[in-house]
Amino acid sequence: MKNTYLEKSLFLFFSIIPLTIVLGPAISLINILLINLCFFIFMFYYKDYEFLKNKIVILLLLINIYLIFNSIISIDQIIGIKRNFGFLRFVIFFIVLNYFFYYSKNPRKIFFTWFVILFIFILDVYLEFITGSNILGFGDEEGDFGPRIVSFFKDEPIAGAFIYGFSFIVVGYLFNKCSEDKKSKVIILFLSLLLLISVLITGERSNTIKFFIGFMMFFLFSHFLNKKIKIFSILFFVIVVSIIFSQSQYLKLRYVTQFTNYFTIESKKKILLKKNIYINLYKSGINVFKNYPIFGVGNKNYRVETCTSKKYPKTYYVCITHPHQIYIEFLSEHGLFGTIILLSILFFLIFRILGVIIKSKNYIQAGCFIYILTNFIPFLPSGSFFSDFNSTIFWINFSLMYACNKQTNIFYEQDLKLKS
């Protein structure tokens, strides 16, 4: 890297990313802005803007341009403008991370810090699950979310989403880092089991399902483990989870009783889905889409439409911030026009490097790919795609998916042009 001061600054800011997310959206935002600012001061000094011609960067900028257009046609132009203009920080972050991984001497050292932060976090989750409160005293069963695990997030049940967002990266790093001896494999499998169970006990059902599917994909297609170890690991996981379930009334309630309550048996052959909160949320989102099919109501405007509209009866909409399903969120807030643009660009950028990921056996890259892919599983509930927390973790994984492999890093192509 041309400037050691820049490298050290970026290393520090990248290393504390998981910690800043735990500390809150404001701290996380400041950290990302500092990363972007350091990079652009450096690039302005060297007058190097060649990266702006990269086709991937251009496509990401197209998403940003569309989002600005989305603000203009929104039913409330002001409410979503901060979120839409703010998306530019992730485009810049994508560029900076690629630059750091391409030119830094040992960029993967940041993953050790992420591993330590994540390990402390999951220990805190287990502590809260066992004692009822985490190390700071958060986790009151009589609070808004009952016995659900909040850990260091205090008043938000997103601990499982946080673990889910960084686990594939950390395990991928350990796969790449550790040798293939039995001791290393046992340690990684044990850590993976801890991660899986930690998400399970948070009570976040959708994230648990996504995480489980993702880890099955990750382990089944890995060359790091042979078939016997894979089969044994799956059986061992099932046994451990069964034991935990049998000892926890809370988990039985979250994953069994509440789920089976969604169904009612009218006869021996006929099972109907009851009206539950997610069905009502999905219907509400679809109703918004029906009323605004082309452009949607606008990013972050779902609440404006469902909570303030007086045209329809109360049962027509559910007054809430978003419909809790990624595809319905896109359709209701962006319509067919925006949904086609967003999904076309995102899926193109995600799947265009799949061949390289398979051939290279880069497990960090594979982990990021799987995390991104599981975010788009249909029907399962999800957080708002463009919220600060979810979008930050998503774009960290997306950026790393390109950055951590020289062949897919955006500066590889630029370097080849300069050499030729």
Give the tokens for residue 88.
């530019």
Average pLDDT value for the chain: 88
Q: Cα(334)–Cα(386) distance, rounded to whole angstroms?
A: 12
3-class secondary-structure state, position 353: coil
Task: Evaluate the CA torsion angle 142, 144, 149, 153 in order and state its sign.
Answer: negative
Q: Determine which of 124-128, 190-194, 275-279, 323-327 has the lowest per-residue pLDDT on average.
A: 275-279
Looking at residue 352, its pLDDT comes to 95
Q: Cα(175)–Cα(362) distance, rounded to whole angstroms?
A: 9
Does some domain include residue 340?
no
Does some domain include residue 321?
no
Tens digit of each residue's pLDDT (9 = 90 or more) over 186-242: 888 889 889 999 999 998 989 999 999 998 888 887 877 777 777 888 888 888 888
- What integer is the mean pLDDT of 162-182? 87
Tens digit of each residue's pLDDT (9 = 90 or more) over 279-322: 889 999 999 999 999 999 999 999 999 998 888 887 899 999 99
Q: Are 302 and 317 in contact (CB under 8 A)?
A: no
Does some domain include residue 310?
no
Does some domain include residue 236?
yes
Q: What's the pTM value of the predicted model, to 2 decimals?
A: 0.92
Q: Cα(89)–Cα(25) distance, rounded to whole angstroms?
A: 14
Per the model's pLDDT, the better-predicted residue between 315 and 118 turns out to be 118
- What integer is the mean pLDDT of 363-374? 96
- What integer is the mean pLDDT of 351-361? 93
Q: How confident is the model at residue 418 (pLDDT cuts 50, 70, 90)?
A: low
Does some domain include residue 288?
no
- What integer is the mean pLDDT of 340-348? 97
Does some domain include residue 53?
no
C-alpha to C-alpha distances, 270 to 117, 259, 273, 408, 409, nearest whole angstrom: 49, 17, 10, 51, 53
Range of the domain at 387: 4-48+87-261+361-419
3-class secondary-structure state, position 94: helix
Residue 19 neighbours by CB distance under 10 Å: 18
Number of domains in the chain: 1
3-class secondary-structure state, position 272: strand
Tens digit of each residue's pLDDT (9 = 90 or more) over 14-73: 999 999 999 999 999 999 999 999 988 888 877 777 888 899 999 999 999 999 999 999
Looking at residue 33, its pLDDT comes to 96
Output the CA angle 173-19-237, nearest 5 degrees. 50
Does some domain include residue 78?
no
Residue 396 neighbours by CB distance under 10 Å: 25
pLDDT at 80 over 50: yes
Per the model's pLDDT, the better-predicted residue between 311 and 365 turns out to be 365
Does some domain include residue 210?
yes
Q: Are 43 and 49 in contact (CB under 8 A)?
A: yes
Q: Cα(90)–Cα(138) distance, rounded to whole angstroms?
A: 31
In one-letter notation, the amino acid at residue 303 is: R
Q: Cα(280)–Cα(165) distance, rounded to whole angstroms?
A: 27
Q: Are 370 and 148 in contact (CB under 8 A)?
A: no
Q: Cα(171)–Cα(220) distance, rounded to whole angstroms?
A: 14
User: 3-state SS of the chain: helix, strand, coil percent to 5?
Assistant: 70, 0, 30
Classify residue 296 as left (phi > 0), alpha (psi -120 to 50) or beta. left
C-alpha to C-alpha distances, 175 to 181, 224, 227, 358, nearest whole angstrom: 11, 7, 16, 15
- Residue with token string 């820049």: 6
